[in-house]
Amino acid sequence: MSEAPLAGTRVLDLSIALTGPYAVALLGDQGAEVIKVERPGFGDIGRYVGVSVNGLSALAQMCNRGKRSIALAVDHPAGRALLLELASQADVVVQNFRPGVVERLGIAYDDVHAVNERVVYVSLSGFGPVGPYAHKGAYDTVIQAYGGVAANQSDPDTGAPRFLNQTVADKVTALYASQAITAALFARERTGTVTHV
């Protein structure tokens, strides 16, 4: 049996909810070693979404399968230092904070790149890093509304927009993100170029 394609790749997962954790879970499925960083005392908000058993939701179990976890208070100097130490040994760092948050915490691309020049740094956000909505939070329903998915699924009788009964925006974004990450890793191996995805 051949080795998994991402065996030997270490991913530091700072993301929460569905999109980031699911994208990283797909990397883990391909053999990557994943370390999930969670907020002490609360963890990932995905732990509390939907059906839950013993305080852990099905969503959290699905999106965090095979990951190791550590609780770090990244907003404190000791927690930030430990996170940067972990990042110094990572091939990929994934975060899905609103734009500006990682800069405030001191864990943005430039901070991580300063301790690890080979890192592929991934920033996922609802509206991207620039523009009038860049600093707004976004969950799946928000993107379904802004992206026209809800309008496209409108009620045939009333014309009222309807959301899909699936977190389609989060899942599709996760699939594209995991593909972009593997492409960035492939480019790094071929050319030595590192990317902020």
- The residues that are catalytic are 170
Residue in this structure with the two tokens 């592929």, named with its chain if needed: 120
Sort residue 142 into left (φ over 0), alpha (ψ -120 to 50) or beta. Answer: alpha
Rounded to the nearest 10°, the torsion over CA 22, 23, 26, 30 is -150
Q: Which of 82, 65, 86 is nearest to 73 (CA)?
A: 82
Q: Which of 130, 156, 177 is nearest to 18 (CA)?
A: 177
Beta strands, E only, 42-174: 52-53, 56-57, 68-71, 92-95, 120-123
